[in-house]
Amino acid sequence: MELVEGRATIEDVDEFVARLGTIGDEHDCTVQAFDARYIVSRTHLDRALSLADRARERGEAIARERAVEILLYTAGRRQIQQALELGVGEGDQPVVVLVTAEEGGDERAAADEIEPLLDAADTLGDFDEQRVREFFDISKRELAATDAALADLVHERVALLDVEK
C-alpha cells in the first residue's frame, strides 16, 4: 500500500475521481481518495484495506468494487452513501490517496502519477477530532470511560464492520 498526501482544490469531484481511476487502471491498482480530516492514522487505512481484502477473499464483500469496499471499511459503515462522506469533495481540502496493487500492479508508478495532482503536504494524522468523533459516533463519555485514544476507537469501529454483517 502506498499513500499519497497533500492538499487539493477540487472543482469537479467526478473528474478528479475519474482521473485517479484512470491512473489506477493504467498501473493495475486500486485507488481511493479520502478527505484526510477523517483519517486518524496509517493504521486506520491499513486495517481497512486488510479487512476489505479479507471480505473479498471470503466472498463476503458488501460492494462489487474493491475501492468501494475499502471505503466502507475505512468508514466502518455498510451504507455507501454514508461512507462517501469520507471521500473528497469540491473545494480546497487535505487529501490522502490510498494506492494498492492488484496482482502484477505497480503501486509506486501509480503513486508517482498521483503526486502532481496534489500540493505536497503532510495530511495523514492531522485529522479533525470533532469531525471524527461525530462521524464515528464517539462521545466524550466513551472517551472518558477508556484509556484508549480516539484513533484506537476508530480502529475498533473499522474492525466492528465485520461483526455487523
Tens of pLDDT, residues 71-127 = 999 999 999 999 999 999 999 999 999 999 999 999 999 999 999 999 999 999 889
Q: Please report the pLDDT score of residue 165 as a whole number.
A: 52
3-state SS, residue 123: coil
Helices (H), 27-137: 42-57, 66-75, 80-83, 107-114, 129-135
- Bridge-based pairing of strands 119-120 and 91-101 is unpaired
Residue 49: CB atoms within 10 A of its CB come to: 20
Q: How confident is the prediction for the chain on average, in pLDDT?
A: 94
- Bridge-based pairing of strands 29-35 and 2-10 is unpaired
- Does the reported pTM lie above 0.95? no
CATH architecture of structural domain 2-164: 2-Layer Sandwich (3.30)
Q: Domain coordinates of the chain in residue numbers?
A: 2-164
